[in-house]
Amino acid sequence: MAGVQPFLHDLLVTLQAPSQVWCARDGQVHPHGAQGVYHADVRVLSTAVVRVNDLLPEEISAGRSGPAELEAVGVLRMIDGPGADPTAMLRRRRVLRPGEVSEELELSCGTDDPVSGRVTLRLASDLARMDDVKQGAATSPLPPQAVPEGVRWTDGTAVVDVSAPGASVEVDDDGATLTWDVTVTPGEVVTLRWGVRTQVPAVVSAPASAEPEWSVPVVAADDKRLAPLVRRSLEDLAGLRMSADFAPGETFVAAGAPWFFTLFGRDSLWAARMLLPLGTDLARGTLRTLAARQGTVSDVETAEQPGKMLHEVRSAELEVDDGTVLPPLYYGTVDATSLWVCLLHDAWRWGLAASDVEELLPTLERALAWMRDHGDNDGDGFLDYADASGHGLSNQGWKDSGDSIQWHDGRLAEGPIALSEVQAYAYEAAVGGAELLDAFGRSGGDEWRSWAAELKTRFRERFWLSDDAGPYVAIALDRHGNPVDSVASNMGHLLGTGLLDPDEEKVVAGRLVAPDMSSGYGLRTLSARSKGYWPLRYHGGTVWTHDTAIAMHGMARAGLGAEAAVLARGLLEAAQHMDYQLPELYGGNAVGDGPGPLPYPAACHPQAWSAASAVALLAAVLGLSPSDDGGLDVAPIAPSPVGSLRFEGVRVGSRTFTVSLDPAGRAQVEEM
């Protein structure tokens, strides 16, 4: 349906950045919705449907068979022998590599006699851009060219080459049909092969290194949900690894598939930050990549400012159906700059080499200066945002949908808007930045500590509200300086940053785990008591995995283990309903309201910061933090919300540790 964003929740995905395949539950790529083979934000195949004797195989099993691999099994009753048992079968094995998809079609039978049939593969390509697919725009297939042993599509820029040894090829204006005539003998397998190679110019591509930039831990726990969640999450993150042409050799993780399969400042920073207990190499690559495009000038069209970190990178201008038009390099984010500083500080604490830190200190100083000189549009002493171009994002925090910042009665807040969590990031960046400046003998540390202290005072004076359930932190200040009175998840990002004192942190944590905010599957973005709440509203009632993980980790850092355990158990409860792949977001319905959390139908999966949340969960349960002497400190939640736990592969610099936890929350640390 044109103009309607296609759903993803019932599709299977195979990915290895910057390529991905989205297919139906039968393994087929049908010509509708978001299904397709993609490379670098272009749909290179919009159809890849196998038939036998003009009929579709009847799917009995389909799913991932390994990282970047899928297998679908269908029975072939159209060529089967007599009897009720299905005795002819097709296995479709798909393997994805950057820029390349290969498939094997394996036919076998358990009949008394050989069976014969005609296998066809119908292919089409529309070379549609991802943003057109996301908006449900109408697309048309392009005419292909027959080439030796295959077929080709090109628009003069992208080139799509399909090879199919042994197949006859017929082309028409709408696509190509590959045909094999086969006879299958009982006890033997007939294997047909085809593949597609793609060339699409892009800003982002596969990383230089084939191996992930983090250690792969060994995790065992009494709670049997934890280990598969960690394993699946790290496999998904490995498939999201990318490199940018302006920072060759550096690796970051793309925000998510399929819609955000590129560099996003905020998302990539949070994912790298959550993965720090597994090493600092991803953090270094992310920091360097963003530093390479740090803002240098003021530009209203791109929202660039000196010292500012970018929001996202695309290969072409991005048009959104609400009139938003974003340039290929867009800086419309109020929080990525502070988060960049926070990541540099935390990576240094986790053992990032001094030479790597020192190289980035000029970038750090410019980022800090942006907070002071450009981050406050209305001069009230808080970082805020307002789109000056008229066609950029109206909301520029992590809740960036148009209706995300609203009052308790459902009215939308007017900008410039100063988000509560952005002040926490800025506070943490100023304090951490000052520590780095001192440690490396550079000036400015005292200035930034004073700046942070003043921000903390102003925040306490302006952001606190109270309702019939007690005090809480407003989601934001509006253009008039009024605190927007929604009870929302944003205040969870304040925990553990130092912006609040311990009593205030306890109050905030208590509000977040109350029934109106905690669904039992995680943290709702908006209180169920708000007029604008709806369990499937993007930022107005759904649960976002990373949002829950950030609040959970902050609670653990603040010593609020009981509250952190509530959210940890919620994520594990949700994970088991989702094949241990926690998506970008899901419904805010409560445990018991249905068989599980409602899927948010258009949610990305995998999503970088959602997958990285599994490591944040481990870090929170164990209370992991680097010690001042380069070792590892632990302050576990007691009692443990996952029972006994063993985590092998925690890294601090060049040192590796194993942490063991008993059900009571007593921990032991061994250096390997």
Looking at residues 504-528, what average pLDDT do you find?
98
Q: What is the CATH number of domain 205-671?
A: 1.50.10.10
Contact 44, 119 (CB under 8 A): no
Least confident of 194-208, 295-309, 600-614: 194-208
Burial of 157 (0-12, 13-18, 19+ CB in 10 A): exposed
Q: For residues 350, 355, 357 and 362, what is the CA-based torsion angle, rounded to 10 degrees?
A: 170
User: CB-based contacts of 302: which residues, under 8 Å, 6+ apart?
Assistant: 327, 329, 330, 331
**Percentage, residues of the chain above pLDDT 90:** 96
Q: Is 228 helix (H, G, I), strand (E, B) or coil?
A: helix
- pLDDT band for 321, please (50, 70, 90 cuts): low
Q: How far apart are CA 584 and CA 401, in angstroms?
A: 14
Does residue 12 contact residue 26 with C-beta atoms inside 8 Å?
A: no
Q: Which of 395, 409, 326 is nearest to 539 (CA)?
A: 395
CA distance 175 to 47: 9
Short-list 315, 241, 226, 311, CA closest to 271: 241
Q: What is the pLDDT of residues 638-648, one digit of tens each?
A: 999 999 999 99
Are 12-201 and 205-671 the same fold in CATH? no
What per-residue confidence (pLDDT) applies to 319?
85
CATH value of 12-201 in 2.70.98.40, 2.40.30.20, 3.40.50.300, 2.40.240.20: 2.70.98.40
| pTM above threshold 0.85 | yes
Per-residue pLDDT, 248: 94
Q: What is the mean pLDDT of residues 318-346?
A: 93
Please write the tens of the pLDDT for every residue from 63-113.
999 899 999 999 999 999 888 999 999 999 999 999 999 999 999 999 999
The one-letter amino acid code at 54 reads: D
Give the start-end residues of each E strand in 550-629: 585-586, 625-626
Asked whether the beta carbons of 609 and 267 are under 8 A apart, the reply is yes
| pLDDT, tens only, 132-153 | 999 999 999 999 999 988 999 9
**Residue 489 per-residue DSSP state:** G
> How large is the C-alpha radius of gyration of the chain?
26
Which percentage of the chain shows pLDDT scores above 70? 100
Contacting residues for 461 by C-beta, under 8 A, at least 6 apart: none
Handedness of CA 127, 128, 130, 134 (dihedral sign): negative
| Residue 1 reports pLDDT greater than 80 | no
Q: Which residue has the tokens 């969640």?
A: 229
- Neighbour tally for 257: CB within 10 Å: 24
The residues spanned by each domain of the chain are 12-201, 205-671
Tell me, what's the pLDDT at 208? 82
Give the pLDDT score at 325. 93
Q: Which stretches of 69-197 are DSSP H helices? A: 130-134
Q: Is the pLDDT of residue 2 over 60?
A: no
- Is there a contact between 601 and 552 (Cβ–Cβ < 8 Å)? no
